[in-house]
Amino acid sequence: MYTKCGSFSSAVNVFEEMVTREGFVEDVTLWNSLLDGYLKFGQINEGLAHFNKMQALGVLPDAYSLSILLGALGLKEGKQIHGYIVRHIFKSDPFLETALIGMYSSCSRIMEAWFVFDHLEDKSNVVVWNVMIGGFLENGGWEWSLKLYSLMKAENVKFVSESISSSLSACVYGDVVDFGRQVHCDLIKMGFENNPFVYTSLLSMYGKCQFVEDAENVFRQVLDKGIELWNAMISTFVWNKYSFASFEVYNKMRYNAITPDSFTISNVLSCSSMIGIYNVGRSVHAELVKRPIENSTAVQSALLTMYCKCGSVGDANFILSTMREKDVVAWGSMISGFCQNRKFREALDYFRKMKADGGVRPDSDIMSSVINACTGLENVDSGCMIHGYVIKSGLHHDVYVATSLVDMYSKCGFLGMAERLFSDMHEKNLVAWNSMISSYCRNGLPDQSIKLFSKIIQHGFYPDSVSITSVLTAVSSTAALLNGKIIHGYVVRLEIESDIHLENALMDMYIKCGFLKYAEYIFQNMSQKDLVTWNCMISGYGSHGDCIEALSLFNEMKNSGIKPDDVTFLSLISSCNHAGLVDEGHKIFQSMRAEHGVEPKMEHYVNIVDLFGRAGRLDDAYNFVKSMTIEPDRSVWLSLLCASRTHLNVELGELAAHYLLKLEPDRGSNYVQLLHLYGDAELWEKAANIRATMKEKGLKKTPGCSWIELRDRVDVFFPGDSSSMRTVEIYEILHSIGKHMEKEGGDSEIMETISDLQENSPWRDQLQHPTSNA
C-alpha cells in the first residue's frame, strides 16, 4: 500500500520492522514487494543490494522476483538472470517467459527474444504471443508481427484486445491497410466489436493510413463513445490536416457532455497552431483556467507552442512561469516557437535560461532548433560554440542534430566543415542527403549537387520531392537540360509524390534551359498554384521576350485572388525592359506602392534606370535616380554608366562613374565601364589615365564565361582560356569557319572578330597546318 501510494520510505520502515520478527524473514512475497518498490522508484543499486541480501539470508527468489528484475535491468544483467533461470530449472513459468522475451526485445536483441519464444514448450499463453508481437514491432519488424498474428490464428490461440491492438499498430507501421481490413473482419468474428480499446486502435489505424472515411465509419458504428474514441477521431483529423473537421468533432464532444482530457486539449491546441486560428486556442485556454487540467504538462506545452507560433511572447512567458515542472517538452516548445517566428535571439536566450535552470538536459529537437537559430542569425561563432556543446553532450551522433549543423555551416559559407560533418555521420537519413545536396548548390557547386543526387539510391534511399527540388535548382543554375529531363523522367517513372515546390522547380528548370513550352505544360496542368508558381511563369515569359503574355498572366493572377509581391513586379518590369515597353514598365513601377502596397526595393529602381537607359531617355533615367526615396547603391550608378556609354553621353557617364567609384573605389569592373566609355568617345588621354589608375591599384576585371552542355558534360569557357582538352580542335574549327566565310563573302565584322580570336590563340602556330577537317 505504501509503495503504490508513493510513500516508499514508509514501506521500507515497515519491511525492516517485519523482517526482525520470526517467520517473516523467509517470506519471499515480502521481499518481492520491496524489490518491486526499489525498481519502480528508480533505485536500481539499492534494489540489487536488496536482492543480494535476500539470497544471503537464505530466501530463494521465485519466478516473480526474477520477473521484477528482468523488467528493470539492462542486457548484461538480464543475461545473468537468464543464466540463473536455466541453472535453477525454472520451467514453463509464464511470468518468466514473458519477462525474458520483453527484456531481450527492449534491449534491441530481437533474435534472442525469438529464440526464447521459439523454444517454449507451451505456447498457449496469449501474453507471450502479445509480447513477441510487440517486440518485433518495437524493433522495426512489423512484417514479423503480422506473421505472428496469422500464426496465432492458425494455432487457435485465444485472442485478447491487446493482440488485436498490437497487430493494428503493425499495420500502421508498415502502411498495409489491406491487412488492417483483414484484422477488422477478424475482430468482428471474435466478438470485439463492443471493445472500446480495440475500436480506438482500429480507428487510429485507418486514420494514420490516411483512410479518413473508413475511420469516420468506425467512429459512427460505436454507439457508446468513450473519451478515447473521441480523441482518436480528433487525432485522425489533425493527422490528416482536416483542421476544421477536428474542431467540429471537439464541439460535438462538448455538446454530448464528454469532458475533454489533456490529450483532447493538446490536439485542439496543436490544430489551432497548425492553421493559425489562435482565437480558438485562446477560447480553449479560457475554458481551462478553472480546471486542474490546466496544470497538465502536456496541455501547458501545447499552450506554449500555440502562443509562440502566433508571436504572443508575453502569454508564452506567462505559461512558462506558471509551470511547476519545466520539462524538456516545455523548453523545446518555447525555443522552437521562437525559431518559427524568426525570433532567433530570443530562442538562444531561452536556451541559456534552460541551461541555467539546470534541471533539464536538452534533447536532439532542442539542439536542432538552437542550431537553426544560429543559422537564422548567420552567427557562425555562436554556431561553433553550440557545436562544441553538442559534442560534449554526446548528441553529435544524432542524425537530425548533425544535419542541422551541416545546414548551418553551409549557409554561413563553411562548405568544407559541412562536408566533413556529412562524411563523419555514422547513419545518414534522406534528410541529411537532401541537406548536403542543397549545400553544394548554395555554395556555387551545382555539379557536385547533381553527382551527390545520383549516390542517394546507391546508399539504399529513394529520393523524395525535397531531393528532386534541390537537385533541380542545381540543374537550373547550370542550364543542363539533359540532366533536368532525366530527373523529370525519374519522377514520372517512380511516381514520386509531386508537390507544388517540385512542380515550381521543374517549371523554373525548363524556363532557364530555354524550353518554355514544357514549362507552360506543367503550369497549365498544376492542380494548385501559389505565388511562386505565377512569378516563375511571368518571369519565364519575360526572359523569353514575350512581354504581352507576361502582362496577360499578371492580370489572370490578380483575378485568381493571388496578391503580387516584389518579385512579381521585378519580373514584369524586366519583361517590359526586354520588350522596350518603357511607359508600361514605368506605369507598373508606380502601381507597386499606390495600388498594391508593395514597397520598391533597390532591384526595382535598377530595372527602371536600365529601362530608361536602353531607350535612350537618359535625362529621365537621371531624374528618376535623383527622385529615389532610398540611397542609390552601386548597381544603380553602374546601370546609368552603362546607358551613358551606349548612347555616348560622356558628361552623364562621368557623373555616374564619380558616385560609383566613391562607393567602391577598389573594384576593377567599375573602372572598365568608364574606360570603354572614353574609348568609344575616342577620348584616348582620359582612357590612358584610367588604365594607369587601374595598374597603380593592381585592379583587374573578373573575366566572364560561357558554357555549353554536350551529352552528359557541361564545358565552361573563359576569354583567353586554353585549359579545355579540346582547345586545339575548337580553334581549328574557328579557323575553318573563317576560311569558309572568306570564300563566301561573309560579314566583315564577324570575320574581323574571328581573326582577332585566332591571333590571340595560344595555338596559332598549330593552326597554320590544321590536323582535322571541319
Task: List the one residue out of 704, 714, 708, 673 whose CA is nearest residue 690.
Answer: 673
Contacts of 194 (CB under 8 A, 6+ apart): none
Tell me the helix, strand and coil percentages in the chain, rounded to 5.
70, 0, 25
Instruction: Identify the pLDDT of residue 241.
Output: 84
Instruction: Identify the pLDDT of residue 259.
Output: 86
Q: What is the full DSSP assignment across 139-203?
A: TT-HHHHHHHHHHHHHTTPPP-HHHHHHHHHHHHHHT-HHHHHHHHHHHHHTT-TT-HHHHHHHH
Instruction: Identify the pLDDT of residue 184.
Output: 94
Three-state DSSP class for 667? coil
**pLDDT tens, 254-293?**
888 888 888 888 888 888 877 777 777 788 887 777 666 6
Residue 126: exposure state from Cβ atoms within 10 A (0-12, 13-18, ≥19): middle
Residue 181: exposure state from Cβ atoms within 10 A (0-12, 13-18, ≥19): middle
What 3 state SS string does 363-425 have? CHHHHHHHHHHHHHHCCHHHHHHHHHHHHHHCCCCCHHHHHHHHHHHHHCCCHHHHHHHHHHC
Q: What is the full DSSP assignment across 12-52?
A: HHHHHHHTTSTTTTT-HHHHHHHHHHHHHTT-HHHHHHHHH
C-alpha grid cell for residue 63? 519466478
Instruction: Identify the pLDDT of residue 296.
Output: 72
Three-state DSSP class for 272? helix
The three-point CA angle 351-352-356 to 5° equals 120
Residue 164 in this model has a pLDDT that exceeds 90: yes
Residue 343 in this model has a pLDDT that exceeds 90: no
Contacts of 143 (CB under 8 A, 6+ apart): 174
Instruction: Identify the pLDDT of residue 69.
Output: 83
Buried b (16+ CB within 10 A) or exposed e, 673-697: bbbbbbeeeeeeebbeebeeebeee
C-alpha grid cell for residue 145? 508481427
**DSSP 8-state assignment for residue 496:** P
Instruction: Identify the pLDDT of residue 511.
Output: 92
C-alpha grid cell for residue 547? 512581354
**pLDDT tens, 551-606?**
999 999 988 888 999 999 999 998 898 888 899 989 999 998 888 888 989 999 99
Instruction: Identify the pLDDT of residue 236.
Output: 92
C-alpha grid cell for residue 165? 491492438
> Partners of 716 in the beta sheet?
707
**DSSP 8-state assignment for residue 294:** G
Distances (CA, A) of 386 to 279, 367, 368, 401: 36, 8, 10, 11
Instruction: Identify the pLDDT of residue 290.
Output: 66
Single pTM value for the model = 0.63
Round to whole Å and give the CA distance between 12 and 38: 9
Beta strands in 611-676 (DSSP E): none
Round to whole Å and give the CA distance between 180 and 633: 64
Pick the CATH number of 601-702 from 1.25.40, 1.10.3470, 2.60.40, 3.40.1710: 1.25.40
Instruction: Identify the pLDDT of residue 678.
Output: 74
Share of the chain above pLDDT 70, in %: 91
Residue 183 in this model has a pLDDT that exceeds 90: yes
Round to whole Å and give the CA distance between 171 and 75: 29
Task: List the one residue out of 257, 244, 248, 261 whose CA is nearest residue 219.
Answer: 248
Q: Read off the pLDDT of each residue in 100-115 and give the average, rounded to a whole number.
A: 88
Q: How many residues does the chain have?
A: 774
The CATH architecture annotation of domain 428-528 reads Alpha Horseshoe (1.25)
Instruction: Identify the pLDDT of residue 753.
Output: 63
Round to whole Å and give the CA distance between 625 and 621: 6
CB 567 within 8 A of CB 600: no
Buried b (16+ CB within 10 A) or exposed e, 359-370: ebebbbbbbbbb
**pLDDT tens, 486-504?**
889 888 887 777 788 899 9
Same topology, domains 428-528 and 601-702? Answer is yes
Residue 696 in this model has a pLDDT that exceeds 50: yes
Round to whole Å and give the CA distance between 314 and 243: 26
Contacts of 292 (CB under 8 A, 6+ apart): none
Q: Cβ of 73: how many Cβ atoms within 10 Å?
A: 19
**pLDDT tens, 634-681?**
888 888 888 888 888 888 888 888 888 888 777 777 677 777 777 776
Q: What residues does each domain of the chain span?
A: 428-528, 601-702, 706-758
Q: Containing H/E element for 490?
A: helix 481-493
**pLDDT tens, 606-616?**
999 999 988 88
Round to whole Å and give the CA distance between 199 and 688: 89
Phi, psi of 254 (to 5 degrees): -70, -35
CB 686 within 8 A of CB 678: yes
Residue 636: exposure state from Cβ atoms within 10 A (0-12, 13-18, ≥19): buried
Query: Which carries the bigger pLDDT value, residue 618 or residue 757?
Result: 618
Buried b (16+ CB within 10 A) or exposed e, 447-485: bbbbebbeebeeeebebbbbbbbbbbbbbbbbbbbebbb
Distances (CA, A) of 409 to 272, 296, 370, 473, 675: 34, 39, 14, 20, 40
Q: How far is CA 410 from the centre of its chain?
A: 15
**Radius of gyration from C-alpha coordinates of the chain:** 36
Task: List the one residue out of 629, 579, 636, 560 whose CA is nearest residue 599.
Answer: 629
Instruction: Identify the pLDDT of residue 773.
Output: 43
Instruction: Identify the pLDDT of residue 774.
Output: 35
Phi, psi of 714 (to 5 degrees): -110, 120
Q: Cβ of 289: how many Cβ atoms within 10 Å?
A: 7
